[in-house]
Amino acid sequence: MIQLKNVSYSYRKGFELANIDLTIEDGEFVFLIGPTGSGKTTLLSLMYLDIFPESGKVTVGDFDSDTIKKRQIPKLRRSIGLISQSYHLLEDRNLFENVALPLHVIGHNQNDISDAVEETLDGVNLAGLEDHFPHELSGGEQQRACLARALIKEPDIILADEPTGNLDPVTSFDLIKLLEKINNEGTTVFMASHNYSLIKSRNHRIVEMHNGIIRGK
Amino acid sequence: MDKILFLLSEGIKNLWRHKLTVFAAVFSIFLSLSTIGVLFIAEQNTHKLIEYMRTKYKIEVFFQNDVTDVAAEQYVEQIKKIPGVYSTTLISKDETLKIYKSVIGEDLTQFLDYNPLPISCVVNVNRRHEGLLKIMTIIKNIENIDGVDSIRHQGRLINQIETFYAKGLLGLSAVAFAIIFVTVLIISNTIKLTIYSNKDLIKALRLIGATNTFIRLPFILEGIFQGIIGAIIASFFLYGAVYGANELLNQFTIYSINVNWLFLSWIFLIAFIISLIGSNRAISKFLK
């Protein structure tokens, strides 16, 4: 479960998130909709504790922002799969190495890693592209590679920050269907987007954000 | 174990991935270590020179006329125990007379009915003495022994030579330390550039739950590998330079540069330490 209780956060430049209350249950698929600059990325950053709230409390699974120790943050992030608009794929590593990285971080052995990468790439329709480097992949393939990297460690939660931002409508739609498939297997998905037309037809809860304030829940 | 192997392989792969910055770091380490190596060799050879000069230092001790052979032997034993004294040679009255006769050509006992020459002793200092040899202290200690009448020595000159040598050693050490310090800064800044060019990797690693140690280790290993490569190249360079210099020297002189090559283990140790400090310093600043 993800829970934000009366959370506030402000940047020096003046923008702030004010008194956010939000709960996402385990296994839920929730869209976060709002215009660019409304605070969606800040809200997601609070959820994986890249930033800490100035007031209020963020709870993600067994961890919360009030009591978590610095050394526990990597452990929290291992339970979360992050997907972002800018992919964050490593240009000097091929697809296999990019996707395998989280398992190296956790400390899996090489045989398990090879099997898991193969299986995960197959699941996101990237089988056969293991030796390709990110610049050799299309935008959609890069985003699916990013998704594969998030999925390989079998996270409890997927946080997706504008994952369709750089994709065409067809590829965007395919990605959402893929996320729904993952959600059906029990993973909680929280996806931020500014493209309402893309998500309105999906049968999921929509949370609306505007100028740092949550409107619909 | 798999994690350690992965980090080790990442450290090695990073050398290829960051080849430009690695080249810059290895080159600066090579230059610094070569300079430090030259200073080591210079120190070893100046030490040989000072050892040679110390064999030429002579202290002649003359005992009072009434000192008997037995008493003189006891005084000589006391002289031997003074720190810095290596050996002594006792010259009896008869031997002194013989020397006088062979040098001057006259037998003093023909004019006088007795031998007026005193028993004496030649003192040799320890040529392998570490650091500054305090010749005046040795002379003072000899002066304090009963029965000593006078001492002939070149104390002031020896003192000047020894002081000059000690100051030279201090200067060489200061230069070596300055080079080590600058090398740490260079390595640290080069690795900082490498890290900056890998900020995406660090960001990605953080997002997938890597600990700071996991992020830090490949960069530190990369730094250590750079240090070792720099040390290997510097070792070959120093060996070649000494070999070449000796070939050249042998054409004109009998003098050659002698090197105890065990000092290369110091070069490797310095390379290891400075690259460890440099890389750790750089990544720590980035992971704050």
pLDDT tens string B272-285: 988 888 888 878 87
Does one domain contain both B80 and B195? no
Does one domain contain both A75 and A19? yes
Residue A35 domain flag: yes
User: Do A75 and B209 count as a contact with CB atoms less than 8 A apart?
Assistant: yes
Nearest-CA residue of chain B relative to A105?
B210
A25-29, A211-215, B94-98: which has the highest mean pLDDT? A25-29
| Structural domain span for residue A53 | 1-79+158-163+190-217
Picking from B200, B203, B209, the nearest residue to A105 by CB comes out as B209
Model confidence at A60: pLDDT above 90:
yes
Does one domain contain both B136 and B247? no
Mean pLDDT, range A189-206, rounded to an integer: 87
Angle at A209 between CA A205 and CA A212, to 5 degrees: 145
Q: What is the Cα–Cα distance from B182 to B190, expressed in whole angstroms?
A: 12
Does one domain contain both B198 and B65? no
Mutation to test the A interface, candidates B18, B208, B213, most A Cβ within 10 Å: B208
Residue A176 domain flag: no
- Which letter, b or e, does each residue of B104-116 get, where b requires 16 or more Cβ atoms within 10 Å of its Cβ? eeeeeeeeeeebe
Does one domain contain both B174 and B143? no
Nearest 10 degrees: CA dihedral of B138, B140, B145, B148? Answer: 100
Residue A169 domain flag: no
Picking from A74, A90, A101, the nearest residue to B200 by CB comes out as A90
Q: Which pLDDT score, from 0 to 100, does residue A22 have?
A: 92
- The ranges of chain B with pLDDT < 50 are none
| Band of residue A43 on the pLDDT scale cut at 50, 70, 90 | very high
**Count of domains observed in chain A:** 2
Q: Which pLDDT score, from 0 to 100, does residue A53 have?
A: 93
Cβ-based contacts of A48 with chain B (< 8 Å): 207
Does one domain contain both A9 and A75? yes
Cβ-based contacts of B209 with chain A (< 8 Å): 74-78, 80, 102, 105-106, 153
Does one domain contain both A6 and A16? yes
Beta-strand runs (E) in B129-199: 148-152
User: Do B211 and A74 count as a contact with CB atoms less than 8 A apart?
Assistant: yes
Does one domain contain both B221 and B99? no
User: How many angstroms separate the CA of residue B231 from the nearest CA in chain A?
Assistant: 28
Mutation to test the B interface, candidates A70, A105, A156, most B Cβ within 10 Å: A105
Does one domain contain both B37 and B75? no
Could you say which of A127, A154, A181 is where a domain stops? A154
Residue A120 domain flag: yes
Model confidence at A217: pLDDT above 60:
no
User: How many angstroms separate the CA of residue A104 from the nearest CA in chain B?
Assistant: 6
Does one domain contain both A119 and A147? yes
Does one domain contain both A37 and A72? yes
Cβ-based contacts of B3 with chain A (< 8 Å): 104, 107
**For the packed helices B19-56 and B212-252, what is the interaxial angle rounded to 10 degrees?**
50
Q: Which pLDDT score, from 0 to 100, does residue A158 have?
A: 93
Q: What is the Cα–Cα distance from B288 to B286, expressed in whole angstroms?
A: 6
Question: Cα dist. A127→A99, A145, A163, B235 in Å?
Answer: 12, 10, 21, 49
Does one domain contain both A94 and A142? yes
B interface toward A at CB cutoff 8 Å?
A: 2-3, 6, 17, 200-201, 203-211, 214
| Structural domain span for residue B120 | 58-153
Does one domain contain both B68 and B182? no
The 3-class SS string of chain A reads CEEEEEEEEECCCCCEEEEEEEEECCCCEEEEECCCCCCHHHHHHHHCCCCCCCEEEEEECCEECCCCCHHHHHHHHHCEEEEECCCCCCCCCCHHHHHHHHHHHHCCCHHHHHHHHHHHHHHCCCCCCCCCCHHHCCHHHHHHHHHHHHHCCCCCEEEEECCCCCCCHHHHHHHHHHHHHHHHCCCEEEEEECCHHHHCCCCCEEEEEECCEECCC
User: Do A108 and B2 count as a contact with CB atoms less than 8 A apart?
Assistant: yes
Average of per-residue pLDDT values in chain A: 88
Q: Domain of B72: which CATH number?
A: 3.30.70.3040
Does one domain contain both A74 and A9? yes
Nearest-CA residue of chain B relative to A49?
B207
Six-digit token string for A135: 């610049």
Nearest-CA residue of chain B relative to A86?
B200
Closest C-alpha to A114, from A169, A83, A80, A152: A152
User: Do A88 and B200 count as a contact with CB atoms less than 8 A apart?
Assistant: yes
**Count of domains observed in chain B:** 2
Picking from B3, B201, B206, the nearest residue to A107 by CB comes out as B3
Model confidence at A12: pLDDT above 70:
no
Mutation to test the A interface, candidates B9, B199, B207, B214, most A Cβ within 10 Å: B207
**Count of all residues that appear for chain B in the document:** 288
User: How many angstroms separate the CA of residue A201 from the nearest CA in chain B?
Assistant: 31
The answer to whether A107 and B2 have CB atoms below 8 angstroms apart is yes
User: How many angstroms separate the CA of residue B264 from the nearest CA in chain A?
Assistant: 36
Lowest mean pLDDT among A74-78, A92-96, A139-143: A139-143
Cβ-based contacts of A106 with chain B (< 8 Å): 209
Picking from A88, A106, A108, the nearest residue to B204 by CB comes out as A88
Instruction: Match 């460890």 to its residue by tokens.
Output: B276
Q: What is the CA radius of gyration of chain B?
A: 31
User: Do A106 and B6 count as a contact with CB atoms less than 8 A apart?
Assistant: no
